[in-house]
Amino acid sequence: MHCNAVSFDETDWPQIVSLYDHLFSVMPTPVVALNRAIAIGETEGPNSALEALETIGADLDTYHLMHATRGTLLRRLGERGSAKAAYERALAIAPTEADRRFLTQQIETLPTDN
């Protein structure tokens, strides 16, 4: 769905949530739930996505992309300190140099506290 959209803004996120709902009904894994939470973040906002993450956080505590996702959602809410902590957790467990570079960039580009 999102790769077929003309632009990010024109992505049919409600349809993507619906597809993840269906996928989760046949394959209820924490990673599917994480991807569903990301889509929820685009339809209902970061608070709703963070609530969805709360239900799977323990299952994915050692998965860097869960913490990176949490960091991005917290960034969107303007919660710099919490976003930084989430990105730093992701960075600590990131498996590849490319992941570590990306996460370092996310930390370095967080807005400064005023």
Q: From CA 68, how far away is CA 84, in angstroms rounded?
A: 10
pLDDT, tens digit, for every residue of 13-45? 999 999 999 999 999 999 999 999 999 999 999
Two structure tokens written together for 34: 């994480």
CA distance 113 to 96: 30
Per-residue pLDDT reduced to its tens digit, 43-75: 999 999 999 999 998 999 999 999 999 999 999
Confidence band (pLDDT; 50, 70, 90) for 3?
Answer: low
Name the strand (E) or helix (H) holding 45: none
92: number of Cβ within 10 Å: 11
Q: Where are the domains of the chain?
A: 1-60, 67-114
Instruction: Categorize the per-residue pLDDT at 114 as very low, low, confident or very high, splitting at 50, 70 and 90.
Output: low
